[in-house]
Structure 1
Amino acid sequence: MLLLVVLAGCGTLDRAANPTPSSSVTTGPPPGASQAPGPPLATATALATGEVDRTNPAAVAADCFTRWQSFDARTDSGPSAGVERARNCLTEDFAASLGAGAPGATDGGADGRAWQDLRAQGARSQVSVLATTSLGGIDTTATGRVVLQLNVRRESTTGNEAPVAALSTPALTLLRQDDGTWRVAGADLASVAGDAPGR
């Protein structure tokens, strides 16, 4: 009986060691797709991180949204920390509308009390952008204004509990700046589950 269990375990290890290559369909929408990225990408790998090409609106959107919406209440200064992290990829008007640089943004009021509760619980949330696509499949890059829909996986953790994952498809509006770089000028987070604190 013990021998059968050991052999069964070895067979499982062999299968795990040689996974079937995944189809490119699971890593993003096909070129020119008009359908928004969605739940089929739930197990996709997040887009590569590193140096961001600021002349590529999709790269800016993925990087900026990740920095803005991820948080760790144990170490972040307050509910506006994500906005401050992403400030250099947001337009001045949009950053101001989110309260960037506002006095007292990190303490006092309902947001401050809620943040202290999250800190006491050890709450944190990591956002991964799995794919981006032009909203409605229409590429408007040449106009200097694009709206991109993102496929986002958020893994939220409280204390030592296991992370809870959720998918969402927020839309970001980006504007091309005079130097050819792109900045986020607006966001529709209506489909976001578990929005970042302070937003």
Structure 2
Amino acid sequence: MTEVDEAFRRAVIEAADAAVDGVLATSPDDVDTGHVGLYRATMQRIKLLVAAYLADGGRHTGDTALVARAVPHAKALAGMQAASGLFVGGDNIESPPDTAFAINDVCDTLELIRRAAAPALAPVELLLGAIADAAVPAMVAGGVHTPNHRWSSPRHLRGCTGAARTPPCALGPSDGSPRASTSRATGCTRSAARSTRCSCRTRRSP
């Protein structure tokens, strides 16, 4: 069994509790986007609320107020998702790799919820599961346009297929190779293995 640094664990939980205090003190519509944009900031807030709800020994552990706040945020996040499954907002509209940053947090949060088997979080799980499912086709077909996206999209393809309830065989290569994140829908042939830029807009495959 891996030894746990209890002091570090407690420090993380205390920091999360303090962050939740700030969230609960503000309006649900007041989301500090920082430099990441509204949909990523919204998902980060949902992830924080779920993690603090599930934390062992935190001040907010099991506090249903966190679930009550997470649900409207999840609904708002769904409203930011276009018909393509990609998010609208920020500098890059309907961008597969930019969407992947948020979807990775979606899938991390789904993993937390499902491992904990917490019935109170079922509404959040339902909403996030639908968001993840809707994003899969665009994640499979999407290209990249900056070097840091080389890990964002493949991480979604490899780590989120279970959370999104999508058969791995539907995602093409299972080895994380760049082919899995090359755009078929737009005809874009730039792959995650190259540091070239892609400005195509992704749409669903036929």
- TM-score bin (small chain): under 0.3
TM-score in terms of structure 2 length: 0.27
Q: Which has the higher strand share?
A: 1
State the structure with bigger RCO (CA 8 A, min sep 6), 1 or 2: 1
Q: Which has the higher helix share?
A: 2
TM-score in terms of structure 1 length: 0.27
- Structure whose CA Rg is larger: 1
